[in-house]
Structure 1
Amino acid sequence: MSDEIRPVSRSRTIMTELVLPTDTNVHGTMFGGALMHYIDKISAIAAMRHANKPVVTASTDSLDFLSPIRMGEAVELEAFVTWTRRSSMEVYVVVRAENLFTGERRVTVTAFSTFVALNDQGKPTAVPTVQPENDAERKLHETAPERYEQRMKRRATRYSPTNRQSSTDTQTE
C-alpha cells in the first residue's frame, strides 16, 4: 500500500443504460450475464480511478440478484472502492432499476469484486489507501477484512480438475 490516502468519492462511478429487447431473456428480464459484464466494467473504472493504474479482475463474489430488471427500465450502476490492501482493491457495486414512467426505483443487485493494480511490467503494484467519507462507506470499509478472509478461504480450498493442488499460489497479497 502506498502512503497516499484517497477518498472513496475519487473512485465513485455511475453508469446508466436503457434495457432493450436484445438485453433480455425469454421472460422479458435482463440477462444476468449482460449485467455481470456491466458490473465488471464499472468496477474496473472505479478501481482505475482510485489507483490511476491499469487493473485486472482478481475475483467477483457476493453477486446477489435481488429482483429482476425488466425491458424498458433504466438500469443504474454505482461503484466505488471500499477497501485496499497492498495492490488490491475491493469494489462495491449497487445496481438499481428505474421504471422511467412511474419514477419507481429499486435495488436489484449488489456485488463485491476485487481488482489488482498493475505496473508498467504487468506486475502487481501498490495502491493508495481508501478513506471512507460517510457512515455507509465506513460500514463497508469496516466489514471488508471479513470479506477478504472469506475470499482467501475460498481460494485456499478451490479445486481444479486439471490441477489437484489448491490454487493458493495465485493469491493476491
Structure 2
Amino acid sequence: MTIEERIENSVTRVFKTVFPNTTNHYDTLFGGTAMALMDEVAFMAATRFCRKKLVTVSSDKINFTVPIPAGTIIELVGRIIYIGRTSLKVMVEIYVEQLYAEERYRAIHGEFTFVAIDENKKPTPVL
C-alpha cells in the first residue's frame, strides 16, 4: 500500500451530539472538551495510519473560530498531514451541523503531533 493510500485509509470521522452536560455557562461546548475530543480523534487517525503505540507530544495552535452551541451535531475529522521518522502530525477539524437545518460549518481546527514508541517507551520509526 502506498503512503497516499495509508493516509486516505486512516482518515477518521467521529460524530457527537453537543448535550448540555458538555457546555459552559454560555451554552457552548467547553473548549477543554473540544480539545480532548480532538486529541482522541487525532490519536485514532495516527494509530490507524501506522499501527504503532503512540503518545501525544504536542498540540499546535488550536483555532476556536466559531462557538459550538448546545443542541448541535459535531463531526470531528482527523487526517495525517506530516510523516517524520518517528513522528506524525494530524490535523483535526470540527464541523457543526444544526439538528433541524441543512447548515454545516467549520468551527475549530488544530494540529496534534504524536511519536511512536517501542516497548521501552523509546521513539521508534512510524513506518
* Bucket of the pairwise TM-score, normalised by the shorter protein: over 0.9
Aligned twin of 1:137: none
- The amino acid across from 1:48 in the alignment is T
Distance 1:113 1:5 in 2: 23
1:5, CA displacement in angstroms? 4.5
Matched residue, 2:74: 75
Which residues of structure 2 form unaligned runs of 5+? none
Match of 1:84 in 2: 83
Q: Could you tell me how far apart the structure 2 residues matched to 1:89 and 1:33 are?
A: 23
Q: TM-score, normalised by structure 2?
A: 0.94
* Deviations 1:41-99 (CA, angstroms, capped at 9, x unpaired): 00011111111011100100120001010001001100011111110001001110100
Q: Aligned equivalents of 1:103 and 1:26: distance in 2?
A: 26
- Aligned pair count reads 125
Question: Which residue of 2 is the match for residue 107 of structure 1?
Answer: 106
- RMSD over aligned Cα, in angstroms? 1.2
| Aligned partners of 1:95 and 1:107 also within 8 Å | yes
For 1:11, the aligned partner's letter is S
* Aligned residues of 1:6 and 1:50 also touching (Cα < 8 A): no
For 2:101 and 2:49, the matched residues in 1 are separated by 35
Tell me the SS of whatever aligns to 2:3: strand
Structure 1 regions of 5+ residues with no counterpart? 129-173
TM-score (ref. length: structure 1) = 0.70
For 1:121 and 1:11, how far apart are their aligned partners in 2?
26
Q: Is the helix fraction higher in 1 or 2?
A: 1
Q: CA deviation at 1:120?
A: 2.1
C-alpha separation in 2, matches of 1:5 and 1:85: 16
- Deviation string, structure 1 residues 138-160 (Cα, Å, up to 9, x no partner): xxxxxxxxxxxxxxxxxxxxxxx
Q: Tell me what 1:15 maps to.
A: 14
Q: Distance in 2 between matches of 1:103 and 1:37?
A: 27
Question: Match for 2:3 among 3, 6, 11?
Answer: 6
Highest CA radius of gyration, 1 or 2? 1
Q: Which residue in the other structure is 1:140 paired with?
A: none
Preserved CA contact (<8 Å) 1:46 1:80: yes
Alignment of 1:1-173 (within 5 A): 5-7=2-4, 8-128=7-127
Q: Distance in 2 between matches of 1:5 and 1:63?
A: 30
